[in-house]
Amino acid sequence: MKPKLLAIELWQVGDLAIASPFLRKACEQFDVTLLAKPFALDLQQRFWPEVKVIPFYAPWTRFSRKYDLWSWPWLGLARLVRQLRRERFDIAVSARWDPRNHYLLFASGAKRRLGFPRLGSQLLLTESLPKPDPEKHTYEQWRALAQRLDLDLPHVESAPLLTNNSGRTVIIHTGAGQPVRVWPLERYQRIAAYLRAQNYDVRILCDPDQTAWWRQVGETDVVTPATISELLDYLSGAAALIGNDSGPGHLAAFLGVPTFTLFGPQLPVWFVPIHPQAEYIEGKPCPYKPCSDYCRFTTPHCLWNITEQEVRDRLDNFLHRHVPSASAVAV
């Protein structure tokens, strides 16, 4: 019987995509359970079907009012702890250096509890790993955990992809988890027109609050995926994805689709999608970067000051390499 392993990743789609190579590798030696937001059930079906998912929406992962303790689901938290303890995990891990995660590792009753300590949380762990290197991708934190568990997980540059892409469509996804990560929609519209003029097959995907805008400007075929599974279906048929620093880029990369990302408040070295052909434009300098989406200004200058011409120049070379079906001509 395999030892029982609990992995915790309670944040967003992109974070869970980054954890996916670890989860797939861990299944080779462990009976793996993942504690994550409910959308993990959609990813489970496509990426790691052997993993058992415990869905849980942690109140501290909200964007606002995360420390409004009166609104926390205390009964739900108590039930979660009881459920974790009933599982009798041998090992529990978290790649995020977050004391709240570490409390859940401790509360699970796991014999070995591995993580990156912060603010004294080493008291909740049985094995503390060195503080993450600020010059390395967050994937390397999962890789450090894998090494401690004798799992052979490669460097980020050669991280395994789920498939190789074979699509012909260039997808532009204009959504993101927070407004400060969204490049202006009218610029995306002009980029789409520019690419279509070069005979690229372009499809627009967006978040629900952007759909009306796209339809008003004449994009009648705009798609707003209602679920992660639906989003994955569209991404798996793409030749390339262009978009903001958001979950769809990470999912596309893991599906084998080359990505082109416009970064704003976050650092590409930490969060560029894991794909050998992933490219990006880094946000303009700001003394407050990285600001974790809490921008001090009315508009996110780091992102909005990226010009259309800069994006066009980079996309010409990027798409020429990755979209063989396009008969691009110089404009």
pLDDT in tens, 208-248: 999 999 999 999 999 999 999 999 999 988 999 999 999 99
The pLDDT of residue 324:
64
pLDDT digits (tens, 9 = 90+) for 139-198: 999 999 999 999 999 988 887 777 656 678 999 999 998 999 999 999 999 999 999 999
Say if CB 319 and CB 186 are below 8 A apart: no
CA distance 120 to 111: 19
Cα–Cα dist 250/263, whole Å: 13
Contact 7, 113 (CB under 8 A): no
156 touches 20 (CB < 8 A): no
The secondary structure of 251-262 as a DSSP string is HHHHTT--EEEE
* 150 Rama sector, left if φ>0, alpha if ψ -120 to 50, beta otherwise: left
Does the fold of domain 169-322 match that of domain 4-155? yes
Beta strands in 188-228 (DSSP E): 202-205
Alpha-carbon gap, residue 217 to 48, rounded angstroms:
39
C-alpha to C-alpha distance for 231 and 223, rounded to whole angstroms: 9
Nearest-angstrom CA–CA distance, 260 and 280: 5
What is the rounded distance in angstroms from the CA atom of residue 272 to the CA atom of residue 250? 8
Q: Helix (H, G, I), strand (E, B), or coil: what is residue 35?
A: strand
pLDDT of residue 68: 82
* pLDDT band for position 328 (cuts 50, 70, 90): very low
Residue 121 burial (10 A CB sphere; 0-12, 13-18, 19+):
buried
The pLDDT > 90 percentage for the chain reads 79
pTM, entire model: 0.90
Kindly report the CATH class assigned to 169-322: alpha beta
Residue from 232, 205, 252, 173 nearest 46 by CA: 232
Greater pLDDT, 330 or 279: 279
- Categorize the per-residue pLDDT at 71 as very low, low, confident or very high, splitting at 50, 70 and 90: confident
Identify the pLDDT of residue 165. 62
Whether the CB-CB separation of 283 and 264 falls below 8 Å is answered with yes
> What average pLDDT is seen over the chain?
92
Structural contact between residues 117 and 128, judged by C-beta atoms closer than 8 angstroms? yes
Strand order in the sheet with 112-115: 52-55, 31-36, 4-8, 91-94, 112-115, 127-128
Q: Show the beta-strand stretches assigned E in 175-319.
A: 202-205, 238-244, 259-262, 279-281
Show me where the domains of the chain are located.
4-155, 169-322
| pLDDT of amino acid 250 | 95
The CATH number assigned to the domain with range 4-155 reads 3.40.50.2000
pLDDT in tens, 102-152: 999 999 999 999 999 999 999 999 999 998 888 899 999 999 999 999 999
Q: Do residues 52 and 32 lie in contact, with contact meaning Cβ atoms separated by under 8 Å? A: yes
